[in-house]
Chain A
Amino acid sequence: MNDPSVAALHLALDVHGRDVHSLRAAISAAEQAGFALATFSDGPLAQGVPEAGTRAAFVSRLTDRIGLAPTLHATVTEPFHLATQLAALDHASHGRAGWIVGAANGVDERATIGAAPLTPEQLREELADVTAVARALWDSWEDDAVIKDAATGRYLDPDKVHHIDFVGESFTVKGPLITPRPLQGQIVVLAPDALELDELADVVLIERADAAAIGERARAAKEAGAPLAFAEVSFGFAEPDAVAKLVDLLRSLAAVVDGVRLRPADPATDVPVLIEQVLPVLAAEGLLRPAPRPGDTLRATLGLPRPANRFAREGAVQR
């Protein structure tokens, strides 16, 4: 586990890639540069880009250490499918899956499923319910549910595969998941701070105007129970002193958050400058966490423990 007292940053990069070639190149550059995590932005009306979950899955066998976190929107899909897709990504990547909680709720976005936007109250409930149900489904198979006992002919121990009987505000899910428990136990959940899901998230992504405001929000997130807080940093190098400014910003952020998600204005030109001119300065000052090693899970890279299974705990108490 990383030492939480060290003021050094985890690095996430929003990876673009409209086609196979640019996607391969982008993920390879990010992994080589030592990023902890690649994120894949998306929306139901995104233009010119494949769906984020498929992009993350596509690169899962082309990489061996970088985390992969697609944005999947809780508001325009079935929660059961969403949980299954992320569990499959975690298995395919050997424990490197993350999920950026998406909350598409515009008139046009919701029209893609023939629905009207949710009210702010409904949206809050929906996001909390979808996140909670995904977490319950990821626990629905205990780690040792598959027993392959040839003597009795039993492949599974049915007492270790659980109905979750989730009852939310607008939907119910019986469970269990069709996919065995993810290798990380729980997929790393990254929630934009505006969604106010701090207590359900592993990482709160904070978007604020300056380092002071970001720090303040990060403290609130930690108090609410989020283990980690990352700052959202959009960057570009059009201005002449942009490199120095970005270095300064990241220096000040290192004191107040655990990591940053870097979002390039123009991926083709900005990412190489970031990697060649910005990151080496910060690394030299000891402000960057070490790069993940081959085989590391995303949880291990971020210093998050592998959670115990809620159903295993209940079972233990009963016995």
Chain B
Amino acid sequence: MTEPDTGLYDPHARIHLGVFLTGVGPQLIWTDPSAAPHTAIESFVEVAQLLERGLFDAFFLGEGLRVRENRGRVFDLDVAGRPDAITQLSALAAVTSHIGLVATQNTTYNYPADLARRLASLDLLSDGRAGWNIVTTDNAWTGENFRHGGWLAHERRYERAGQFVQAAKQLWAAGDSGTAVEYRTDLVRLRTEPGVAPSRQGRPVLFQAGDSEGGRDLAARHADVVFSANTQYPKAVAYKLDLVSRLARYGRSPDSLRILPGASVVLGDTPEQARERAAWVRREQVTGPRAIAFFEQYWGTDLSAYDPDGPLPDIEPSEGELDPSRGTISIEQRTGKAAQIQKWRALADERGLSIRELALEVSPGHPAFVGTPAQIADEWTRYVRTRAVDGFNITPYLVPSSLADIVDKLVPELQDRGVYRTEYQGTTLREHLELPPVSEQEGIG
């Protein structure tokens, strides 16, 4: 079988790195004594400054709209509690000088003029280092925290996002010129006179994270960077080719959009050490209680009486499909619950797996890159020189130590291969990403 490829090769391609701190979820290990206090501002400052030392392009924060729940109760096993992203990044802007500061913000429960103004403010205060990771949400569950809860039909969320982003671009283009902007479509209505001066990068860099058809199209029309889920090489290649053809449809060159898939990285001094470390990480992430909670979502019932080291529950799951809206399972799991459980039962029977062993096998979150710094540097060099990706957006498992390892061990290996900067060339996020100036980007789509 031949490896898929993009048909492209660039010996001078550079890797762009970001870190995505979701702030919640099972991938973050909090039980280790080295884990930084999760919500303390000092931890965020430490990470941002560490990444700046590692010459990273960007530091991303996730967005919280509702504290996650499992069967109607606040979910208690994962780290939780996070700041407002733009507020936190504005604080970080004052104590950093180069790193890009990217806020995840949804287009469903925000007002476009208000959000555009806050993002422009972060961009100005950081002297051109702001980014906006555009996401959508639609469900009535998160909507219960907002005035217009559940107002937008699922199929229309990217229509709203497209109109929202278009309005934001118009507002940013007006800057503080005193020009009134009116934007009126079926899903966005505003009239304002924007008042924040443009930063040195023109406007915030736009990131897009959704992988659905609507998400890909939004990326091709509006985004500067995609934070994709297509990390495995063949998927990355297919994604790149898909995106290039979409870009052409909107008259954009392949180089006007950077692709940074999410990546979890586990390093070791030897391949064996790295594998052992990865197994440890996985066991810390998939604890007994988490394994029970994982299956409770599918069974739809209390399984706390079951021993995680014992066999799968013999009782039948509840009727009905899963509700992926509570933030703990992915949207793709909307349908097919019964078949899924049947498959798992067969796998557990065949291999004699306990509840926790099965969860270790089948729950999401396996690290994408496990190896020595040299191994991963080689692999990443291939990814970028064949133009499958432009870099990676790293999701850490232990903060700050797993990131310090990347800065201290992996970055030098990348530099040795000539695929990573040895100093910042510019100061704005747009410059770090080697994107064309905004003036060449706009007026399309």
Contact of B191 among A108, A148, A171, A173 (CB under 8 A): A108
Q: Chain A residues near B176 (CB, 8 Å)?
A: 47-48
Question: Chain B interface secondary structure, helix, strand, loop or mixed?
Answer: loop
Tell whether, in the assembled complex, residue A84 and residue B122 are in contact, meaning their CB atoms are under 8 Å apart.
no
Chain A's closest residue to B193 (CB) is A45
Contact of A156 among B74, B118, B149 (CB under 8 A): B74
Report Cα–Cα, A162/B352, bound state, in Å.
40
Tell whether, in the assembled complex, residue B94 and residue A62 are in contact, meaning their CB atoms are under 8 Å apart.
yes
The answer to the question of B313 belonging to the interface, with a C-beta cut-off of 8 Å to chain A, is no
Tell whether, in the assembled complex, residue B288 and residue A78 are in contact, meaning their CB atoms are under 8 Å apart.
no
Residue among A48, A61, A80, A154 having the largest count of chain B Cβ atoms under 10 Å: A61
The answer to the question of B323 belonging to the interface, with a C-beta cut-off of 8 Å to chain A, is no
Residues of B183-198 at the interface with A, using a CB-CB cut-off of 8 Å, are 188-193, 195-197
Contact of A158 among B73, B188, B289 (CB under 8 A): B73
The answer to the question of B113 belonging to the interface, with a C-beta cut-off of 8 Å to chain A, is yes
Tell whether, in the assembled complex, residue B91 and residue A79 are in contact, meaning their CB atoms are under 8 Å apart.
no
Q: Which of the candidate stretches A50-58, A228-236, A288-296 sits at the interface with the other chain?
A: A50-58
State the Cβ distance, B117 to closest chain A Cβ, in Å: 5
Q: When each residue 59-99 of chain B gets 1 if its CB lies under 8 Å from chain A and 0 otherwise, what string results?
A: 00000111100000111111111111011101111110000
Query: When A and B form their complex, what is the total count of cross-chain residue pairs whose Cβ atoms lie within 8 Å?
Result: 195
The answer to the question of B399 belonging to the interface, with a C-beta cut-off of 8 Å to chain A, is no
Report Cα–Cα, A23/B126, bound state, in Å.
13
Report Cα–Cα, A150/B39, bound state, in Å.
18
State the Cβ distance, A172 to closest chain B Cβ, in Å: 7
The answer to whether A154 and B147 touch (CB under 8 A), given A58-B90, A61-B94, A112-B192, is no
The answer to whether A54 and B147 touch (CB under 8 A), given A46-B195, A47-B195, A61-B45, is no
Report Cα–Cα, A204/B92, bound state, in Å.
32
The answer to the question of A66 belonging to the interface, with a C-beta cut-off of 8 Å to chain B, is no
Tell whether, in the assembled complex, residue B125 and residue A61 are in contact, meaning their CB atoms are under 8 Å apart.
no
Chain A's closest residue to B80 (CB) is A156
Q: Which of the candidate stretches A176-184, A255-263, A308-316 sits at the interface with the other chain?
A: A176-184
The answer to the question of A243 belonging to the interface, with a C-beta cut-off of 8 Å to chain B, is no
The answer to the question of A77 belonging to the interface, with a C-beta cut-off of 8 Å to chain B, is yes
Tell whether, in the assembled complex, residue A54 and residue B86 are in contact, meaning their CB atoms are under 8 Å apart.
yes
The answer to the question of A132 belonging to the interface, with a C-beta cut-off of 8 Å to chain B, is no
The answer to the question of A157 belonging to the interface, with a C-beta cut-off of 8 Å to chain B, is yes
Report Cα–Cα, A62/B78, bound state, in Å.
32
Chain A residue total in the interface (Cβ 8 A): 63
Report Cα–Cα, A54/B88, bound state, in Å.
9
State the Cβ distance, A204 to closest chain B Cβ, in Å: 26
The answer to the question of B273 belonging to the interface, with a C-beta cut-off of 8 Å to chain A, is no
Report Cα–Cα, A60/B288, bound state, in Å.
41
Report Cα–Cα, A116/B312, bound state, in Å.
57
State the Cβ distance, B219 to closest chain A Cβ, in Å: 25
Chain B's closest residue to A63 (CB) is B94
The answer to whether A153 and B289 touch (CB under 8 A), given A91-B83, A141-B81, is yes
The answer to the question of B280 belonging to the interface, with a C-beta cut-off of 8 Å to chain A, is no
Q: Chain B residues near A173 (CB, 8 Å)?
A: 144-146
The answer to the question of B114 belonging to the interface, with a C-beta cut-off of 8 Å to chain A, is yes
Report Cα–Cα, A87/B41, bound state, in Å.
12
Chain A residues close to B by CB (< 8 Å): 18-20, 23, 44-51, 53-55, 57-62, 76-81, 84-85, 87-89, 91-92, 94, 108, 111-114, 141, 146, 148, 150, 152-158, 161, 170-180
- Other A-B contacts than A57-B91, A154-B289, A161-B80, 13 sampled, CB-CB below 8 A, are A20-B127, A45-B195, A48-B197, A55-B121, A57-B90, A60-B91, A79-B147, A112-B192, A113-B111, A113-B114, A146-B81, A153-B289, A179-B82
15 contacts across the A-B interface (CB closer than 8 A): A46-B195, A51-B196, A57-B86, A77-B114, A78-B111, A78-B147, A108-B191, A111-B190, A113-B114, A113-B190, A146-B38, A158-B74, A174-B145, A177-B67, A179-B64
